[in-house]
């Protein structure tokens, strides 16, 4: 099969090569990949390659395609089903003609969306859902409606979905951060009630909105920069969740007397650690599909970079690394 991978940490090392079809594990599906989306994790994994590899590392942590073969212990899908998924960072990714993926982290693809809009959603939707409904323990039944959430970096891939889930599913009052005119407009389009600037004093800006604290906080970028403000702003018994590795110790002392919590979210934990609740990701993706098809939430797809080629993958990685992209970048192998 045709595949695309990186030999080293340079963007220019992404190349096309031939590889045997992957062997299936018991819970695996073999999926013909029709489209992929590029996320910051793709660039981070590539940047983490310490030296030249003998065989390129296949990246790609969003995919859309059709099931062509099933493993010996599969039960959720049939051959021919259209599916979407975010994969497992410890296995070969979606930047290839075919990929083997554990069916328990695969969802039925939305039926009313284009390929581009569908493939943009898995990784960021799983992350946002787990952040809000698992780590923050917000109810999906609007039990927490009216409570406040601050989403730091609202215009990013995860932030764009988190705003929608918090506002449209949970009924929270959403304060999101953005800085440029384009990102501010995007965050408002996603449904944020208020927008503030993460480059400026967050407590002061919240005070101007009549808020001295918030019930929930998501830190989706620069945790070291924002942790001081977050621990000041979180309400007693509030919850903070974060997706960023600090790289150095962070001070959480202020949370103690507030009985407030701080938790990490890594979307790949369930797959990598084979946790008992791994199949929850299948159910989450199916729920996201239903919300998309019903028009309750919308895709964050913004740019089709072109056909899945080494050149276009290099282009997508460069756009991500330049740090100015809004929404999701997609590459398409074939239309369905």
What architecture is the 2-121+277-332 domain classified under in CATH? Answer: Alpha-Beta Complex (3.90)
Mean pLDDT in residue range 222-243? 98
Give the torsion through C-alpha atoms of 155, 159, 161, 167, to 10 deg: -100
Q: CB of 120 within 8 A of CB of 301?
A: yes
Q: CB of 64 within 8 A of CB of 33?
A: yes
Distance between alpha carbon 35 and the CA centroid of its chain, in Å? 16
pLDDT in tens, 132-143: 999 999 999 999
DSSP string, 194-236: EEE-TTS-HHHHHHHTT-S-EEEEEE-S-HHHHHHHHHHHEEE
Distances, alpha carbon 218 to alpha carbons 83, 118, 143, 240, in Å = 29, 24, 19, 6
Q: CB of 102 within 8 A of CB of 25?
A: yes
Q: CB of 179 within 8 A of CB of 222?
A: no
Q: CB of 52 within 8 A of CB of 8?
A: yes
Place of tokens 């084979």: 274
Show the tokens assigned to 40. 């910051």
Q: CB of 133 within 8 A of CB of 125?
A: no
pLDDT in tens, 136-192: 999 999 999 999 999 999 999 999 999 999 999 999 999 999 999 999 999 999 999
CA–CA dist 276, 271 (Å, integer): 10
pLDDT in tens, 104-151: 999 999 999 999 999 999 999 999 999 999 999 999 999 999 999 999
CA–CA dist 199, 187 (Å, integer): 16
**For the chain, which residues make up each domain, given as ranges?**
2-121+277-332, 124-264
pLDDT-derived band at 335 (thresholds 50, 70, 90) equals low
pLDDT-derived band at 333 (thresholds 50, 70, 90) equals confident
CB atoms near residue 207 (< 10 Å): 12
Residue 196 pLDDT exceeds 90: yes
Name the more confident of 336 and 95.
95
- Give residue 252's pLDDT: 98
Residue 336 pLDDT exceeds 70: no
Q: CB of 305 within 8 A of CB of 6?
A: no
CA–CA dist 239, 241 (Å, integer): 7
Q: Which of 164, 122, 93, 100 minimizes the C-alpha distance to 313?
A: 93
pLDDT in tens, 289-302: 999 999 999 999 99
User: What radius of gyration do the chain's Cα atoms show?
Assistant: 20
Burial (CB < 10 A; 0-12, 13-18, 19+), residue 65, is buried
Strands 106-108 and 82-85: antiparallel
Please indicate, yes or no, whether the overall pTM of this predicted structure exceeds 0.95. Answer: yes
pLDDT-derived band at 323 (thresholds 50, 70, 90) equals confident
| Length of the chain measured in residues | 336
pLDDT in tens, 16-58: 999 999 999 999 999 999 999 999 999 999 999 988 888 999 9
Q: Who contacts 79 (Cβ-Cβ below 8 Å, separation ≥6)?
A: 67, 68, 69, 70
Query: Which class does domain 124-264 fall in?
Result: alpha beta
Mean residue pLDDT of the chain comes to 96
DSSP string, 156-188: SHHHHHHHHIIIIIS--EEEEE--SHHHHHHHH
pLDDT-derived band at 325 (thresholds 50, 70, 90) equals confident
- Give residue 205's pLDDT: 98
């Amino acid at each position: 099969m045709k595949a695309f991978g990186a030999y080293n940490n340079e963007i220019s090392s992404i190349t096309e090569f031939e590889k045997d079809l992957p062997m299936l594990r018991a819970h695996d599906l073999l999926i013909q990949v029709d489209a992929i989306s590029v996320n910051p994790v793709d660039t981070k994994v590539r940047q983490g390659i310490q030296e030249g590899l003998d065989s390129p590392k296949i990246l790609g942590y969003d995919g859309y395609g059709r099931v062509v073969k099933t493993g010996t212990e599969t039960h959720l899908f049939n051959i021919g089903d259209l599916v979407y998924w975010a994969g497992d960072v410890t296995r070969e990714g979606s930047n290839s003609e075919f990929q083997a993926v554990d069916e328990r982290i695969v969802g039925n693809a939305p039926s009313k969306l284009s390929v581009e809009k569908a493939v943009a959603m898995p990784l960021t939707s799983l992350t946002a859902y787990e952040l809000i409904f698992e780590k923050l323990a917000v109810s999906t039944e609007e039990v927490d409606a009216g409570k406040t959430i601050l989403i730091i970096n609202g215009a990013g891939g995860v932030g764009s979905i988190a705003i929608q889930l918090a506002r449209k599913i949970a009924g929270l009052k959403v304060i999101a951060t953005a800085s440029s005119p384009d990102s501010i407009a995007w965050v408002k389009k996603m449904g944020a009630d208020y927008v503030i600037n993460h480059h400026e004093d967050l407590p002061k800006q919240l005070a101007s909105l009549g808020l001295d604290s918030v019930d929930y906080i998501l830190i989706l970028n620069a945790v070291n920069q924002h942790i001081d403000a977050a621990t000041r702003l979180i309400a007693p018994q509030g919850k903070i969740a974060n997706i960023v590795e600090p790289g150095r110790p962070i001070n959480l002392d202020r949370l103690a007397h507030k009985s407030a919590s701080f938790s990490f979210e890594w979307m790949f934990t369930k797959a990598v650690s084979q946790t008992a609740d791994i199949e929850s990701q299948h159910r989450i993706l199916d729920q996201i599909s239903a919300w998309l098809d019903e028009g309750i939430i919308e895709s964050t797809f913004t740019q089709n970079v072109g056909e899945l080629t080494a050149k276009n993958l290099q282009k997508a990685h460069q756009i991500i690394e330049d740090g100015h992209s809004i929404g999701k970048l997609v590459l398409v192998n074939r239309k369905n």
